């Protein structure tokens, strides 16, 4: 079984209070919202293994001489 780990961050008190209030308004635990954000961020910012920096996937073999 994989163990969970913690992540400690520092934010401005006002930002934290606003975030917690927004989570409560949606009836969601703050930790759940942060995990959802993290999964979405990783998904959007993880490149496919065949991509190269600066070139979209699939365009590598379309060189025009």
Tens digit of pLDDT for each residue in 12-33?
A: 999 999 999 999 999 999 999 9
Q: Which two tokens stand for residue 35?
A: 């995990």
Q: Give the residue ranges of DSSP H helices in 2-65.
A: 13-25, 30-45
Beta bridge partners of 52: 55
Asked if residue 60 belongs to a domain, the reply is no
Asked if residue 37 belongs to a domain, the reply is yes
Looking at the whole model, is its pTM more than 0.85?
Answer: no
Asked if residue 50 belongs to a domain, the reply is no
| Count of domains for the chain | 1
Asked if residue 2 belongs to a domain, the reply is no
Over residues 34-50, the pLDDT tens digits come to 999 999 999 999 987 66
> How far from 22 is each of 2, 26, 29, 44, CA to CA, in Å?
31, 6, 10, 24
Beta bridge partners of 55: 52
Asked if residue 24 belongs to a domain, the reply is yes
């Amino acid at each position: 079984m994989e163990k969970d780990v913690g992540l400690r961050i520092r934010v401005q008190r006002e930002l934290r209070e606003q975030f917690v209030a927004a989570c409560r308004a949606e009836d969601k635990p703050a930790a759940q919202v942060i995990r959802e954000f993290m999964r979405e961020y990783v998904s959007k910012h993880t490149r496919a293994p065949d991509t190269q920096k600066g070139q979209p996937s699939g365009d590598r073999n379309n060189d025009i001489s």
